[in-house]
Amino acid sequence: MKIITVRLAGRSYPIFVGTKILSHLAPLLREQAGWSQLVLLTDTTVAGLHLERVRTVIPGNVTLITIPAGELSKSLAQLGELFDRFAEIRLGRRDVLLTFGGGVVGDLGGFAAATWHRGIRYLQIPTTLEAAVDASIGGKTGINHAGGKNLIGAFHQPSAVLIDTDFFATLGLRDLAAGLAESIKHAALTSAAFLDWHEQHADAILARDPATLAELVARNCEIKADVVCRDEREADVRRILNYGHTIGHAIEHLLAFELRHGECVGLGMLVENEIAHRRGLLPRSEADRVRAVLARFGLPLKLPQTLDAAAVLEACRSDKKAQAGHVPFALIAGIGQPQIASEIDAADVKAALRVIDPNL
Ligand code: GLY
């Protein structure tokens, strides 16, 4: 087992990574002083697969809330239903929420925890690779709005994150690859050696070898924890983590969540690399490296349908990072060389989208 600490002033918290990690849950809960009730939040898919494993290790009084699986649950309506249940059971300020599932459960549950009684404690137990390497770490919580993804949210750090790689054994290939897209993003931003590592260990990763997955997750947690510790609220360096996400979120929104989040981030990286290349920032060989690693894990390199460039640009302008209609893009100038570009030309976006156009 590996423990990575997210060091924030007065609010440091551990991330446990490895196999049989759930055995740490009961002692961790005993350390959280003063609670009398626990809420276990999960979704229909995870409940069907893994609920017993977590329930048997939870001490005391637990209220189970199961939401429908899928991105549509990240909504105001679903949040309202959670609050109704919290009110019904009189969930108090010192009580604790456990989020048990993928990014949807973590983001929605984290936001409910951030806002109920002006903030209660929560622990994240991610069950997807996507949530383990990215969404469960760093305290970004939120829900979607018709105007765009994650437009409503808050920074609220969990008290602990427990990542048990045993859960990844049941992930289908698309879900595994979607998580790998976020890992490839972290590698492209920070380290050519880590990018190469993905290819060198591709067979073991695809075979869901627990030790290899634990190493991959731990490395991602270290990278993300380092960035979050330096800039918790995304005023500066944390903005680099949006690499692939500005175009990626726009695609996700326009395709009404037909593709996985990680698949959209992969496509977003391809387009944003093309933008960087067109601006003379990123050599073609480096863009090709990222593309090859995405391809190795079967991530989509083309959209399922042609998207209107103006609509993509418009969706980018609705991104929460946009300021007065200008969207800052996190680009790379090479593997391990992130850069924030504040002015992106509409013509650049339009031309760059061609790299993922299915008809070209
Ligand atoms: N997913 C990017 C971040 O947490 O900042």
Q: Which of 134, 89, 138, 137 lies closest to 116, judged by CA?
A: 89
- What is the per-residue pLDDT for 149? 85
| 321 pLDDT above the threshold of 80 | no
Q: Are the C-beta atoms of residues 71 and 257 closer than 8 Å to each other?
A: yes
User: From CA 97, how far away is CA 99, in angstroms rounded?
Assistant: 6
| HEC letters along 147-212 | CEEEEEEEECCCCEEEEEHHHHHHCCHHHHHHHHHHHHHHHHHHCHHHHHHHHHCHHHHHCCCHHH
**What is the CA(359)–ligand 1 centre distance, in A?**
32
- What is the per-residue pLDDT for 136? 97
Amino acid at 106: G
Reported confidence tier of residue 345, pLDDT bands at 50, 70, 90: confident
Q: From the CA atom positions of the chain, what is the Rg in Å? A: 20
Tokens at residue 83, please? 């609050």
**What is the CA(253)–ligand 1 centre distance, in A?**
17
Range from 35-49, 77-91, 343-357 carrying the lowest mean pLDDT? 343-357
Closest Cα to atom 2, ligand 1: which residue? 241
Range from 46-50, 98-102, 326-330 carrying the lowest mean pLDDT? 326-330
242 catalytic, yes or no? Answer: yes
Choose the residue to mutate in 155, 182, 185, 242 for probing ligand 1, maximizing ligand atoms within 8 Å of C-beta. 242
Of 149 and 337, more confident: 337
Which H or E element spans position 339? strand 338-341
Tokens at residue 25, please? 């849950």
Which atom of ligand 1 is closest in space to residue 241's alpha carbon? Answer: 2
94, burial (CB in 10 Å: exposed 0-12, middle 13-18, buried 19+): middle
pLDDT digits 0-9 by tens, 249-259 = 999 999 988 99
Tokens at residue 58, please? 């939870």
User: From CA 243, how far away is CA 284, in angstroms rounded?
Assistant: 17
Closest Cα to atom 3, ligand 1: which residue? 241
- Tell me, yes or no, if the pTM score tops 0.85: yes
Distances 317 to 171, 177, 181, 313 between C-alpha atoms, Å: 34, 28, 24, 6
- Mean pLDDT for 36-40 is 96
The string of DSSP codes covering 220-258 is HHHHHHHHHHH-TTSSSGGGGGGTTHHHHHHHHHHTTT-
Residues within a 6 A CB radius of ligand 1:
134, 138, 140, 238, 241
pLDDT digits 0-9 by tens, 187-228 = 999 999 999 999 999 999 999 999 999 999 999 999 999 999
302 catalytic, yes or no? Answer: no
Selecting among 156, 219, 224, 289, the annotated active-site residue is: 224
Residues 6+ apart with CB under 8 A from 313: 250, 346, 349, 350
Q: Are the C-beta atoms of residues 95 and 101 closer than 8 Å to each other?
A: no
258 catalytic, yes or no? Answer: no
Q: Are the C-beta atoms of residues 149 and 112 closer than 8 Å to each other?
A: no
- Mean pLDDT for 240-266 is 94
